[in-house]
Chains A and B, each alone.
Chain A
Amino acid sequence: MKVNMYLNKRVAIVGAGLTLFRRRLLETPQEIAWEASRKALDEAGLELKDIDCIVIGSAPDAFDGVHLKGEYLSHGSGGIGKPVSRVYVGGATGVMTAIAGWYHVASGMCQKVLAVAEEKMSPARPHPQSVFKYIWDPILEKPLNPNLIWIFAMEMHRYMAKYGIKKEEIALVSVKNKRNAMNNPYAQLGSNITVDDVLNSEVLVWPVQLLDVSPVSDGGAAIVLASEDVARRYTDTPVWVEGVGWTLDNTEWPARDLSYARYVEFAARMAYKMAGIERPNKEIDVVEPYDPFDYKELHHLEALQLAKRGEAPTLLKEGIFDIDGDIPSSPSGGLLGVGNPIAAAGLMKVASIYWQLKGTAGKMQVKKPVHTGVAQSWGDLMQAGTVIVLRN
């Protein structure tokens, strides 16, 4: 794979916006997309007429119940009379939306891009899980009628079994992230819980329990990306996109090593090479790994090369990933605390790193000075990894 370390053009993020992440927002998907877009434009100091291209990210069409969802969302994203396209890698779409926004500018195709991610999960009846009934291979898997938590339980179990990790150690992620989310004004589920609360919550599919899982949410996120000359005109604190990486593993998830997210590792290596990062655990100051389940944050921290295989729980226990630790992880509260409107959650992580590097994260701001941050998202049949490296 070719990775050009001397990129043709530098690209900066100059604005970001989020809606509240909530269950059953009253706004339509188009209105959610516009609310996030409007906020991002306001922060960038730009108007919609200034934007050259729109990139939309949204996960399964079935959540919103709309076919050709990118076309539908283009109106709410301000994409009237402009180049609009939708990118898609399942749950990893949020960071892919930022990556696509980056290459729209880096290629010279556009100078100012609005990247918008939206998800409205709550209309799915009786529960968004019903939508996930249709993600399986129609011949080999669908007849077994599996559900999504079922396969993540297998993955979590495998991770625990391979490295001898206890549930108590994994539960600490949920405790940390929900605590961090109390500082986030957009969060749906910030709270002070204990490990015991997680261990005593309802068992969904062992070893996955209710408080191991992020909540179903509606929400939108948007960022504005600009070329270097434009960015310097609009802000004194641009945050540069220094590296991007994305990977899709093969479709046959039962044949893979479920204890390690190699697709995230491959995506991270691509992004790190582009950003010139050789020692991730020394050079990355803050990270937002994708955490729809608590074990997934640990899984991803290892694949991002921020911990050795099986050692993330130990580092977590030592406080390395706390908001005042060496490598604060999910200081926004992550999906476990903020909520999980699939694609919007991934772009929320990019926005959170942007605010951290800009120094405007408010109560979420990590304690140490930060210069390099990483956001990551994950999805599909446990096969998609997307990574973005930002610097101030």
Chain B
Amino acid sequence: MNQIAIIGTGWYGFRPSTPEVSFREMVFEAATRAYQDAGVNPRNDVDSFISCQEDFWEGISISDEFAPDQIGGALRPTMTVAGDSLQGLAHAFMHINSGVADVVAVEAHSKVSDILTYSDIVKLSMDPVYVRSINPQNLHFIAGLDAVKFMERKKVSREDLAMVVEKNKVAGLSSPRASYASKISYQDVIDKDYVVYPLTELDIAPLVDGAIVMIVSTEEVAKKLKKDDYVLVKGIAYATDSANLETSELGKANYMRIASDLAYKMANVTSPRRYFDAVFVDDRYSYKELQHLEGLKISEDPSRDLNEGNFSPQGEIPVNPLGGHLAKGVPLEASGFSLLLDAIDYIKQGKIERALVGSWRGVPTFTGSVVVVEKP
């Protein structure tokens, strides 16, 4: 397999609501910027197009009908991956390596501000026989169970979770995309009431509108178009633990372990902690950042590393130095891309050379994706 290159990025939004645009207009804005950045014309230079979306998020049945026009994919090989944007990127990787494309455009977006009944939509993703029928009063209950088991197993304290929130919300102040960045203290988090034990409102990343388009290509095309102004995808993988709550292992991010093992193998990474300069990982619940770091083999004792400051932007291995989801919000299927976008920005700013990106699809899924990106 050949590695692929990210040659263009474009984004729009990252605000709690974007009333000035429809989701299609938002994607058009992001696509225009991505094509400009890559220096390609979608009608002539892009071989295939991938959209990452889910029907119920859009409020449209067969939502892929509305994918092609705003990315220039009409009457071209355009398809939808019903998954996180990093899964879409993996499909782009396969389009290129199978020989059907040299350049692929991947789109993901969130217009979550249009969803009036978010918690009901999430409940519809729970197994209709075994889970939905118990009519959970709080969509976060699975995260609560998972968090308690993880904290018990890894000796992580409530204060540790609050420290993650403080670290990320403060780090987000340096990101142009972080609508929810703020200078709060961990005491502010602890003082809040629980939404579901052990998580307060501040431990749960808010939702956000946003659209991200990435243009990927073979390395040969990247060199031709961008000289060395691109980022290489050295390894990419995704995995599902079990979609059924009753058969999944709570307290462990097995999906992240499986996906990262595959990605590390592809990228020839043997010691992740030493290899990467920074980690951009899903933190839509504060405990998830620590759990995912364990799954990614970045830390065997995340509580200790956190308390020693190893994960801070100035630490040994910065984790979410641009704020993660806690500061930026969760842009639904664009979540993985939002973390990848941070990694690319960090690389292009010259702060790091090698980054690890890990994304999760949220409750009630046990699916994660991992990407290893580097300077060429």
Contacts and interface: CB of A to CB of B under 8 A. Distances in A.
Contacts of A249: 68, 74-75
Contact of A107 (B80, B93, B241): B93
Interface string B14-58: 000000000000000000000000000000000111000011100
B62 interface: yes
A274 B56 CA distance: 36
A323 interface: no
A62 B99 contact: no
Given A66-B128, A72-B127, A1 B240 contact: no
A89 interface: yes
B135 to A, nearest CB: 15
B324 to A, nearest CB: 22
Contacts of A138: 59-60
B82 A134 contact: no
B67 interface: yes
Nearest to A102: B98
B239 A86 contact: no
B125 A72 contact: yes
B65 A381 contact: yes
Contact of A89 (B79, B101, B241): B79
Contact of A247 (B77, B127, B240, B244): B77
Given A86-B82, A89-B79, A248-B68, A81 B98 contact: no
Contacts of B244: 75
B258 to A, nearest CB: 6
Interface stretch (A4-12, A199-207, A347-355): A4-12
Contacts of B62: 59-60, 90, 135, 379-381
B75 A83 contact: no
Max chain B C-beta neighbours (<10 A), residue from A2, A28, A68, A80: A68
A81 B103 CA distance: 30
A108 B56 CA distance: 33
A28 B76 CA distance: 36
Given A131-B61, A132-B61, A138-B59, A81 B125 contact: no
A161 interface: no
A81 B67 contact: no
Interface stretch (B83-91, B168-176, B190-198, B285-293): B83-91
Given A7-B98, A107-B93, A266-B75, A67 B61 contact: no
B225 interface: no
B64 interface: yes
B334 interface: no
Nearest to B129: A28
B78 A247 contact: yes
A106 B101 CA distance: 12
Contacts of A270: 77
A8 B240 contact: no
A246 interface: yes
Nearest to A104: B94
Contact of A82 (B74, B121, B239): B239
Nearest to A139: B22
A85 B74 contact: no
A69 interface: yes
A239 interface: no
Contacts of A80: 240-242, 247
B64 A90 contact: yes
Max chain A C-beta neighbours (<10 A), residue from B69, B79, B83, B238: B79
B66 interface: yes
Interface in A319-350: none
Secondary structure dominating the interface of A: mixed
Max chain B C-beta neighbours (<10 A), residue from A7, A69, A85: A85
A250 B99 contact: no
A8 B128 contact: no
A248 B79 contact: yes
Contacts of B74: 248-251
A316 interface: no
A368 B258 CA distance: 48
A68 B239 contact: no
A373 interface: no
Contacts of A28: 129
A1 B47 contact: yes
A245 interface: yes
Contacts of A260: none
Contacts of A132: 61
Contact of A83 (B55, B96, B121, B238): B238
Contact of B125 (A68, A75, A84, A133): A68
B330 to A, nearest CB: 14
A61 B128 CA distance: 13
B229 to A, nearest CB: 23
A372 interface: no
Contact of A81 (B97, B129, B258): B258
A32 to B, nearest CB: 14
A89 to B, nearest CB: 5
Given A2-B102, A85-B91, A107-B94, A248 B67 contact: yes
A247 B75 contact: yes
B95 interface: yes
B367 interface: yes
Nearest to B88: A85
Nearest to B87: A85
Nearest to A379: B62
Contacts of B94: 103-104, 106-107, 109
Contacts of B328: none
A8 B100 CA distance: 10
Contact of A248 (B76, B99, B364): B76
B234 interface: no
A1 B124 contact: no
B145 interface: no
Contact of B239 (A9, A81, A107, A262): A81
Closest A-B pairs by Cβ, 6 of them: A4-B99, A107-B97, A106-B98, A67-B125, A248-B78, A107-B94
Interface of B: 1, 47-49, 54-56, 59-62, 64-69, 73-83, 87, 90-91, 93-103, 121-122, 124-125, 127-129, 237-244, 247, 254, 258-259, 262, 361, 364-365, 367
21 contacts: A6-B99, A8-B97, A61-B54, A69-B82, A70-B83, A80-B242, A81-B239, A86-B83, A87-B79, A103-B91, A107-B1, A134-B61, A138-B59, A247-B76, A248-B67, A248-B68, A248-B75, A249-B68, A249-B75, A252-B69, A381-B62
Given A85-B83, A88-B81, 10 more contacts: A7-B98, A70-B82, A72-B125, A74-B242, A74-B367, A83-B90, A86-B81, A102-B98, A247-B75, A249-B74
